Amino acid sequence: MQWEKSDAFEPGDHGNKPFAIRIPSLLVSRGSSGPPNFLTAMWFTPAGAEPSRTVVAISKSTHTYGLVNETREFVLSAPTQKMMDVVVFAGRASGRDVNKFEEAGLTPVQPSKISVPLIGEANGNVEFKVVNQFPLDDEIDLFIGEVMAVHIRKGTMHGELYREDANPLLYMGTKYDEQGKSLGKHYGKLSGIEVVDYESPLLKKHVTRK
Ligand SMILES: Cc1cc2nc3c(=O)[nH]c(=O)nc-3n(C[C@H](O)[C@H](O)[C@H](O)COP(=O)(O)O)c2cc1C
């Protein structure tokens, strides 16, 4: 097979950015004392189906890091479009300085399997217990969470799929001007869901079941 040269691409700054359009998470935690807390997290990814696990990278500089290490539990919460300011706030402010639930006017909701609250205003909340932890470097640890319970807002999803009229918040990243000055964080809206065309020549040839 001949490899072609292409001028369709140019160098980019951030390796993980082409994959960044996704729902951000509010990672909720609590310690043995003090109020529960949450931070904005984008460094997380599903890993494994049965048992269902998620890897999340948590910076040691955060208040969250100490809390998760204390209880070995956390909640990942999926924000709605209305929660855009909460997501920005939770990614800047620290639970060391402010009570984020109170400041953001969010409702802590009773969990079912762990001791960390859910966020009442979110589209979904997943309860995790930490089953493993690895250092990524001097500043960040990877935590492996195993799903203990899943709570989806009524009317939001059909099985695994968001409904067309659901309102998940999509993270797009920061926009910069020509001098590299930030023009702010940008978020997107869900604007269409479609089923795969299983009749496409490629899928008809290689994929026999949906
Ligand atoms: C879009 C976005 C994504 C972020 N993702 C993460 C993340 O996955 N892990 C992390 O440790 N910090 C992440 N941060 C930074 C924390 O949210 C931030 O340091 C926060 O203020 C820490 O709060 P805490 O001290 O209350 O734990 C992110 C920030 C933003 C704005």
User: pLDDT at position 36, please?
Assistant: 98
What's residue 166's pLDDT?
92
Look at residue 126 and tell me whether its pLDDT is greater than 90.
yes
Q: Considering the chain, what is the average pLDDT of its residues?
A: 94
Q: Which amino acid is at 153?
A: R
Residue matched to tokens 């729902």: 23
User: Smallest Cα–Cα separation from 113: which of 168, 150, 159?
Assistant: 150
Residue 125 has a CB neighbour count (10 Å cut-off) of 24
If one residue of 19, 22, 40, 141 were mutated to test the ligand 1 pocket, choosing by the most ligand atoms within 8 A of its CB, it would be 40
Please give the DSSP secondary-structure letter assigned to residue 80: B
Distance of CA 91 from the midpoint of ligand 1 (Å): 5
pLDDT confidence tier of residue 210, bands split at 50, 70 and 90? confident
Cis peptide preceding 51, ω within 30 of 0:
yes
Domains belonging to the chain, first-starting first, are: 19-153 (2.30.110.10)
pLDDT value at 191 more than 90 = no
Residue 56 CA: nearest ligand 1 atom is: 8
Tens-place pLDDT, residues 116-125 = 999 999 999 9
Q: What is the mean pLDDT of residues 93-117?
A: 97
Q: Which atom of ligand 1 is nearest to the CA of 92?
A: 21
Which of 23, 56, 62 most suits a substitution to test ligand 1, by most atoms within 8 Å of the C-beta?
Answer: 62
Q: How many DSSP H helices and E strands does the chain contain?
A: 4, 13
Element (H, E) at 88: helix 84-90
Count CA within 13 A, CB hemisphere, residue 7: 0
pLDDT value of position 205: 92
- What's the confidence (pLDDT) of residue 16? 82
- Please list every protein residue whose CB sits less than 6 Å from any atom of ligand 1: 24, 37, 39-44, 57-59, 62-64, 91-96
Query: What are the backbone dihedrals phi and psi of residue 200, each rounded to the nearest 5 degrees, phi first?
Result: -60, 145
Average confidence (pLDDT) over 48-65: 96
Tell me which residue has tokens 């997290």: 41
Quote the CA–CA distance of 175 and 177 in Å, as a whole number: 7
Residues 156/163, Cβ–Cβ less than 8 Å: yes
Give the span between the Cα atoms of 147 and 130, in whole angstroms. Answer: 9
40 Cα–ligand 1 center, Å? 5
**pLDDT score for 14:** 80
